[in-house]
Copies of this chain bind each other. A is one copy, B any other.
Amino acid sequence: MDTTNGAFTCGLDAALVVLGGKWKPLILFHLAHGTRRYGELRRAIGHVSDKVLIQQLKELQADGIIDRLDYGEIPPKVEYSLTAFGRTLGKALAPLCEWGTKYSSNVEAIIERRKVAEGPHAAWKR
């Protein structure tokens, strides 16, 4: 784990360039489980607006993390999938998913504590 790396202060800084976006990690997670159509992805992620989901899908595509396959049909049929590059990132995200699963009740307690505090970050947010 190198701490100096070109323009980045560390590898994590570089990863965050690609992953930074409210919904990008979850997009990656779901696509790591297989190709998805837009609507499937939308429903799996939950409370995200069309506008923002599409925006972040476009960014991920432009960055070479995901592929978009348009079948050119009506009604529209479009599929999203991870590129080979995106799959390397998906793999690197897996331990974080496992951590979240393992400590989900701790995290729920944190959320409750935030609500009670009604402080600088009261609501559930990321």
Contact = CB atoms under 8 A, between A and B. Distances in A.
A99 B89 contact: yes
A29 interface: yes
Contact of A14 (B9, B15, B100): B100
Interface residues of A, number: 64
Majority SS of interface residues in chain A? helix
B101 A1 contact: yes
A125 B11 contact: no
A25 B20 CA distance: 11
The 3 tightest CB contacts between A and B, nearest first, are: A11-B100, A20-B126, A11-B101
Interface string A82-123: 000100110111111111111111111011011001011100
Contacts of A19: 96, 126
A101 B20 contact: no
A55 B59 CA distance: 29
Given A10-B26, A20-B125, A103-B88, A15 B97 contact: yes
15 contacts: A1-B94, A5-B100, A9-B44, A9-B45, A10-B100, A11-B98, A12-B100, A14-B100, A18-B110, A59-B121, A62-B119, A63-B110, A85-B103, A91-B95, A94-B95
